[in-house]
């Protein structure tokens, strides 16, 4: 039986592509691996050597294309200090933080990006709870 090996990437429609491009590259630290701003698309990666992109941002042609019903987009970080560091960076950027939580298997901060998509940053703990 064919099997999926992992999630490849997530794509989001954006009303303001440049604002979202700036946020995910400058604030979140993702690398822009490819883009065609005339066509309205930008690809970003946390590890460009391993994966061309994990996030694709596409300019919405009209408001009805707004990304709907995405429960969250999650990004993994190396350690708990990274979760804390991002928490403070997000506060400095004036972003709306939803919550911080320890799930047992992970420690997370949930927040909303500039276009109100829910995002999680998480560190995987060594505990299998």
| pLDDT tens readout for residues 9-51 | 999 999 999 999 999 999 999 999 999 999 999 999 999 999 9
> Residues for the chain: how many in total?
129
For 8, the enclosing helix (H) or strand (E) is none
Return mean pLDDT, the chain. Answer: 92
Q: Looking at residue 91, what is its pLDDT?
A: 97
| pLDDT tens readout for residues 41-80 | 999 999 999 999 999 999 988 877 776 678 899 999 999 9
Strands, E, within 15-115: which ranges? Answer: 31-36, 41-45, 55-59, 73-76, 97-102, 106-112
Q: Looking at residue 97, what is its pLDDT?
A: 97
């Amino acid at each position: 039986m064919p099997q999926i090996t992992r999630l490849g990437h997530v794509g989001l429609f954006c009303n303001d592509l440049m604002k979202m491009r700036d946020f995910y590259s400058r604030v979140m630290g993702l690398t822009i691996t490819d883009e065609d701003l005339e066509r309205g698309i930008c690809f970003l990666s946390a590890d460009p050597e391993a994966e061309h992109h994990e996030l694709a941002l596409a300019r919405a042609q009209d408001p009805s294309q707004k990304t709907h019903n995405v429960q969250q987009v999650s990004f993994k970080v190396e350690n708990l200090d990274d979760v804390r560091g991002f928490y403070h960076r997000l506060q400095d950027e004036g972003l709306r933080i939803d919550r911080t939580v320890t799930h047992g298997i992970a420690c997370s901060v949930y927040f909303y990006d500039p276009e109100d998509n829910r995002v999680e940053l998480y560190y995987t703990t060594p505990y299998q709870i």
